Amino acid sequence: MKHESWKKLWPFMKTEPQGRTNLRLVGDLTVLRSKVMEDAEADYSWRIDPELASLDATRPVTLSLKEYLRYHRDDVRYPSPWSVRMAIDTHDGKHIGNCMYYDIDAEKSQCELGIMIGDRNYWSKGYGTDVVKTAVTHIFKTTELERVYLHTLTHNYRAQKSFTKAGFTAICEKQRDGYNFIFMEIRRTMWEADQAKSEIELSSRTSAN
């Protein structure tokens, strides 16, 4: 595709997005990959779960599995150019949740990040932090976006702790659709500073050995 053509569709990308529907991002604990039809049943079980819905500030879906499969199929076949949806797998291939960045705004140079670990066996074990770090690294390395932000419920302390570990800073409290959220963000300059610090620490440890 000519530069002028793909740049009109994805003005926030640094290079032509060859792999937006075939992503595979490997973190320390997790693998983020493009969504496939086989994810549908696990996704459905998480979407109808009242506790998971409440943590996402929404309501459980009321669709039947058959109806949900049609919805899921369309999402997989026709991905939006303004959002990127990814499944979260463990290194041994177990699907444990989902992650996406969306509301991609090239003019404001920002996007919103969302994550859900649906499998409770992987809560509070560092998987969420690893997902966020992996997703943010991908965003800043492959796009020209300058800011990634998110909203997390004020009482969801586990999520706030995870986001803070991944480099996000709490900015303020906001109310949206009757829910109270902590608004958090990470900017490219913050991420680059953290990357440089990590490289220096790694170099120091290597030299010491």
Do strands 110-117 and 147-153 pair parallel, antiparallel, or not at all (unpaired)?
A: parallel
Size of the chain, expressed as the number of residues it contains: 209
- Residue recorded with tokens 């991944």: 166
Which pLDDT does position 5 carry in this prediction? 42
Q: What tokens does 10 get?
A: 């994805």
- CA–chain centroid gap for 155, Å, is 20
Q: What is the CATH number of domain 11-208?
A: 3.40.630.30
Return per-residue pLDDT of the chain as tens, 209 residues. 444 443 444 455 555 454 456 899 999 999 999 999 999 999 999 999 999 999 999 999 999 999 999 989 988 888 888 899 999 999 999 999 999 999 999 999 999 999 999 999 999 999 999 999 999 999 999 999 999 999 999 999 999 999 999 999 999 999 988 899 999 999 999 999 988 887 777 666 666 66
Beta bridge partners of 176: 179
Do strands 179-187 and 147-153 pair parallel, antiparallel, or not at all (unpaired)?
A: antiparallel
Contacts 24+ apart (CB under 8 A), 176-183: 176/57, 176/151, 177/57, 179/57, 179/153, 180/153, 180/154, 181/57, 181/151, 181/152, 181/153, 181/154, 182/151, 182/152, 182/153, 182/154, 183/149, 183/150, 183/151
The three-point CA angle 34-84-33 to 5° equals 20
Q: What tokens does 42 get?
A: 């696990």
SS3 155: coil
